[in-house]
Amino acid sequence: MNARLGTFKYFLECYFNVSANYDELTLIIKEFNSGENTKYRKQLYTELSLIEQQEDWDMIREFVRKHGGRKMDEERLKWFIHELQYGIEVS
* CA dist list (Å): 68 to 20, 21, 39: 10, 12, 22
**Spatial separation of the C-alpha atoms in residues 86 and 3, rounded to whole Å:** 23
Predicted local distance difference test score (pLDDT) of residue 91: 84
Q: What are the domain boundaries of the chain?
A: 2-87
Residues 33, 35, 37, 43, Cα dihedral to 10°: -60
Q: What is the pLDDT of residues 3-22, one digit of tens each?
A: 789 999 999 999 999 999 99
Q: What is the pLDDT of residues 40-75, one digit of tens each?
A: 999 999 999 999 999 999 999 999 999 999 999 999
Going by the DSSP 8-state scheme, the letter that residue 15 receives in this structure is: T
Q: With contact defined as beta carbons under 8 Å apart, do 20 and 63 qualify?
A: no
From the CA atom positions of the chain, what is the Rg in Å?
12
Predicted local distance difference test score (pLDDT) of residue 3: 72
Check whether 1 has a pLDDT greater than 90. no
